[in-house]
Amino acid sequence: MTDPRYRKLARLLVEYSTELKKGDRVLLDMIDVPDEFTVELIRAARAAGATPLVEVRSTRVSRELLLGTNDRHAALARDLELFRMKKVQSYIAIRGSGNASENADVPGDRMALYSRITRPVLDWRINKTRWCVLRWPTPSMAQAAGMSTEAFENLYFDVCTMDYAKMARAMVPLERRMRRADQVHLKAPGTDLTFSIKGIGAKMCRGDRNIPDGEVFSCPVKNSVNGVIQFNAPTIYSGTKFENVRLEFKDGRITGATANNSKRLNEILDTDTGARYVGEFSLGFNPYILSPMCDILFDEKIAGSLHFTPGQAYEECDNGNRSAVHWDMVLIQRKEWGGGEVWFDGELIRKDGVFIPKDLKPLNPSNLK
CATH number at residue 154: 3.40.1830.10
- Segments forming the whole domain that contains residue 304: 164-368
| Domain shared by 243 and 284, yes or no | yes
Residue 1 has pLDDT above 80, yes or no: no
| Domain shared by 170 and 125, yes or no | no
| Domain shared by 336 and 242, yes or no | yes
| Domain shared by 129 and 205, yes or no | no
Mean pLDDT of 258-283: 97
| Domain shared by 270 and 307, yes or no | yes
DSSP annotation string for 290-341: -S--S-HHHHTTBTTEEEEEEBPPPGGG--S---S-B--EEEE-SGGGT--E
Instruction: Express each pLDDT in 114-145 by its tens digit.
Output: 999 999 999 999 999 999 999 999 998 888 88
What is the phi/psi pair of residue 350, to 5°? -145, 135
**Per-residue model confidence (pLDDT) at position 300:** 95
Beta-strand relationship, 130-135 and 90-95:
parallel
**Per-residue model confidence (pLDDT) at position 86:** 98
Mean pLDDT of 57-64: 95
**Per-residue model confidence (pLDDT) at position 368:** 85
Alpha-carbon distance of 293 to 116, in angstroms, equals 27
**Per-residue model confidence (pLDDT) at position 313:** 97
149, containing H or E segment: helix 149-160
Decide which of 243 and 101 is more confident. 243
**Per-residue model confidence (pLDDT) at position 296:** 87
DSSP annotation string for 198-237: TTT--EEE-SSSBSS--EEEE---TT--EEEEE--S-EEE
Q: How many domains does the chain have?
A: 2
pLDDT band at 26 (very low <50, low <70, confident <90, very high): very high
